[in-house]
Structure 1
Amino acid sequence: MRNLEKSVPVIRFKGFSEAWEQRKLGEDVNFLNGRAYSQKELLDKGKYKVLRVGNFNTNDRWYYSDLELEENKYANRGDLLYLWATNFGPEIWNQEKVIYHYHIWKLKIMNINVSKQYLYTWLITDKERIKQSTNGTTMVHVTKSHIEQREFQIPPNLTEQQKIGDFFKQLDDTIALHQRKLDALKLMKKGFLQQMFPKSEENVPKLRVSNFAGEWEQRKAGNIFMTISDKNHAHLPVLSASQELGMIRRDNIGINIKYNEKSLKNYKLVKPGQFVIHLRSFQGGFAWSYITGITSPAYTILDYKEPQKNVSKFWKEVLTSPIFIKRLETITYGIRDGRSISFADFSTLKFSAPSVDEQRKISAFFQQLDNNTTIQQNKLEKLISLKEAYLQNMFI
């Protein structure tokens, strides 16, 4: 064991004052290799699921195996795992018994004075640092010999380790709870979008706001929207299009996009409530604007032929919904960076629309749902930031 130059963290639980120790992971932990599978060995059905790296962070399909292996090749509930290829970092497995793949290690702690929950949390603090020591080009990875020699810091008192581990587990559980609430709100909106707008060629939604009846009016997009091209507003901020956030200031996206300021006179004016048809139809292609600014002359700006008959936030929900994005497949063309959207083709699409009063009610409902989602998103982001701050200050 070696003493650290800076032997204590900034924030510490009361009652502990001993200097932390520095050890090598391989002194206390065995890193057990998973089993390598050929594609032919992976089954569509079988006794055991085969846990691969993609099953943690993506929607990779599950494969199965009927092989009976030595116990060290299985991951059971509560086991500490480590992803060492492509994606990096620790995971505590909390599901059914599985066979873990070759690109995953199972960590067997050999020292009874090392807390599993503490070690898991320390490995999280090491995730970004270890990326600087990776190998390979086609598949970036960490070698077993490297991680065994990796030095980690640990309080000698097991109780202090357990307190730290329990603290971060409780924080992780709270973050997971808020993530589930956020996911539920997003799923709820998706469901309401499917229920509160008629399907193509239908005139009445399945779910309706109270005090409204009768069929919605079938209207072509070309009778609702018109294109505008108002230039010579170079003094206004430049906007960029995004499907999730709509039109946003270009200087807020964190990318330094070069453009000739002399060309700004040719940029098109965008006002709140208008749409911009941009060039990424795989994301939807219709960005709603909350703000005033100018945008690329390559984009098409949409406004309403009869503003008094249309509520902009109602159409925002329509033209950014997954249902509408799916409909765009019938009118888009091109092969690079998504597909281009022609206003002439878009204008032929039919939409069902209610009265302006019902539009207001629907838009108000979704605005409240969006507000709740934003509040939940902010809570989640604050918790994640809080965790990051604690990770930086409760470890050496």
Structure 2
Amino acid sequence: MKLPDGWRKERLSNISIIQTGIAKNQNNIENSIELPYLRVANVQEGFFDLNEIKTIRIPHEKIKRYKLISGDVLLTEGGDFDKLGRGAVWYEQIKDCVHQNHIFVVRPNNKHIISEFLSAQTGSTYGKKYFISCSKQSTNLASINSTQLKAFPVILPPLPEQKAIADLLSTWDETIEITERLIQAKEKQFKGNTQKLIDLRCTEWTHIKPKNMFDLITEKNHPNEELLSVTQDQGVIPRDMLKGRVMSPDGTTASYKHIKPGDFVISLRSFQGGIEYSKYQGIISPAYTVLRPKIKMDTDFYQIFFKTYIFIEKYLNLAVIGIRDGKQISIPDFLSIKIPLPPLEEQKRIAETLSVTQQEIDILKQLAEKYKTQKRGLMQKMLTGEWRVMSDVVKSYEENTKHQSAPEKWHSVGAEFNAHCE
């Protein structure tokens, strides 16, 4: 990548302090204090979800080591691919807050880089490509360590241009955050309606064993069918929709299982997120268990039910077994537990009611993803120097040492970018 004159690259460790967080299972309780701490769930892409903040006991002598300060850039070490290098800038929204060991804190040297510009860069296509390229990967999972993070090659324009670019991108951040909060509100509404219509009614319904409701499907040798992936957030989807989040299978796919629309899938992580649903026909890894309904049922109802808290905790938990590498679902145990089977018409009514809110959530998520895509595209243009901030705008940042709101001229830049996206 050829950089514009005056721009340079620098290792992240040369322009910042990088630290890991406190381990949750520490037993040092003497001379300690209970403080709020951030978990991976709190650190989203470009903002923090602070609706649920947990606390942890920490020795007094370690407070300074783990305490967050305004301007820290927080990055998650991994998990699902979308959590890899996900992060935002901390502005001390919570006083005396510390962070979990699965979150990296980058404390930039503001003589070289501003926090907002660094956060935007790590969240850009450029940043994501780097993290994915050096991450440790397994099926649908990836993680980075502090050594890899320290080696991140930061692109450094002059400080005034960094500030100008960061202010422009903040417009998208604000819009994304508003949309994400709308999603959270709708999901809270959906959860409340689910509890009312399903959780509180479960004991009233007939219960039967899954083996009487589903057939286990083990059809193989369909190598020409589309390759599908099983995800907790989107269900069963074509693998190419994951945009590089997973690796292609090695060798033949002859042993992969055939799956059809309306089938359900028990995954290696179903004990956490429930059973997934497929709207697609294709093939999936033989590690998954495919369930095909063999009685009349409303699959929309069970698509919702199999993701509810009461199903995962009350029913599915009975089939969870511990193995050497963690937990998984025992298929024989699952087939033998009893789960609710409401009357078919009641299944349909409940599904129709809940589907309205679910559709609203899906539309908002699509909108949020559109904004994120626009921001990533804009960042890619600005980061490489393909698009440059107008010289008079940069000059205004040189003349003002204090952070200011984005100049009016950003409206023309935003309009130009949107025209490219259409």
The secondary structure found in structure 1 opposite 2:206 is: strand
Name 1:319's counterpart in structure 2.
306
Number of corresponding residues: 339
Contact map agreement 1:54 1:60 (CA 8 A) in 2: no
Q: Quick one: structure 1 residues 185 and 343, their matched pair in 2 at CA, closer, same or farther if it must change by over 3 Å?
A: farther
Name 2:91's counterpart in structure 1.
93
AA in 2 matched with 1:286: I
Pick from 112, 116, 120 the counterpart of residue 121 of structure 1: 116
CA distance in 2, matches of 1:24, 1:337: 40
Q: Quick one: structure 1 residues 223 and 316, their matched pair in 2 at CA, closer, same or farther if it must change by over 3 Å?
A: same
AA in 1 matched with 2:171: Q
Name 1:166's counterpart in structure 2.
167
**Does structure 1 residue 274 correspond to structure 2 residue 263?**
yes
Q: Quick one: structure 1 residues 123 and 361, their matched pair in 2 at CA, closer, same or farther if it must change by over 3 Å?
A: same
Structure whose residues are more often helix by fraction: 2
CA distance in 2, matches of 1:247, 1:151: 37
CA distance in 2, matches of 1:163, 1:349: 60
Pick from 356, 371, 377 the counterpart of residue 383 of structure 1: 371
Scaled by the length of structure 2, the TM-score of the pair is 0.60
Write the deviation string for residues 92-140 of structure 1: whole angstroms up to 9, x where unpaired. 4142443778x85766757xxx9xxx8233323554399799xxx9753
Name 1:207's counterpart in structure 2.
none
Query: Where does the alignment leave 5 or more consecutive residues of structure 1 unmatched?
Result: 8-19, 204-216
AA in 2 matched with 1:57: V
AA in 1 matched with 2:157: Q
Query: Where does the alignment leave 5 or more consecutive residues of structure 2 unmatched?
Result: 45-52, 78-84, 135-143, 386-422
The secondary structure found in structure 1 opposite 2:291 is: strand
Write the deviation string for residues 8-65 of structure 1: whole angstroms up to 9, x where unpaired. xxxxxxxxxxxx6779999xx997899x9995677344xxx57789796397744568
Pick from 232, 236, 258 the counterpart of residue 250 of structure 2: 258
Q: Quick one: structure 1 residues 107 and 302, their matched pair in 2 at CA, closer, same or farther if it must change by over 3 Å?
A: closer
Moved more, 57-66 or 341-350: 57-66
- The percentage of aligned residue pairs carrying the same residue is 19
Name 1:196's counterpart in structure 2.
197
CA distance in 1, matches of 2:16, 2:218: 64
CA distance in 1, matches of 2:149, 2:260: 51
**Does structure 1 residue 359 correspond to structure 2 residue 347?**
yes
Write the deviation string for residues 188-213 of structure 1: whole angstroms up to 9, x where unpaired. 3222222211448621xxxxxxxxxx
**Does structure 1 residue 57 correspond to structure 2 residue 43?**
yes
Moved more, 246-255 or 51-60: 51-60
CA distance in 2, matches of 1:296, 1:151: 39
Cα offset for 1:225? Answer: 0.4
Cα offset for 1:179? Answer: 1.5
Contact map agreement 2:43 2:76 (CA 8 A) in 1: no
The secondary structure found in structure 2 opposite 1:302 is: strand
Contact map agreement 2:318 2:333 (CA 8 A) in 1: no
Cα offset for 1:313? Answer: 1.0
Contact map agreement 1:274 1:303 (CA 8 A) in 2: yes
Name 1:81's counterpart in structure 2.
72
Structure 1 vs Structure 2 CA RMSD: 5.1
Contact map agreement 1:31 1:108 (CA 8 A) in 2: yes
Name 2:400's counterpart in structure 1.
none
The secondary structure found in structure 2 opposite 1:291 is: coil
The secondary structure found in structure 1 opposite 2:348 is: helix
CA distance in 1, matches of 2:213, 2:366: 34
Cα offset for 1:284? Answer: 5.0
Write the deviation string for residues 224-262 of structure 1: whole angstroms up to 9, x where unpaired. 503255747735445454444333345655431235455
CA distance in 2, matches of 1:360, 1:390: 44
Q: Quick one: structure 1 residues 297 and 182, their matched pair in 2 at CA, closer, same or farther if it must change by over 3 Å?
A: same
Task: Decide which structure has the larger Cα Rg and report it.
Answer: 1
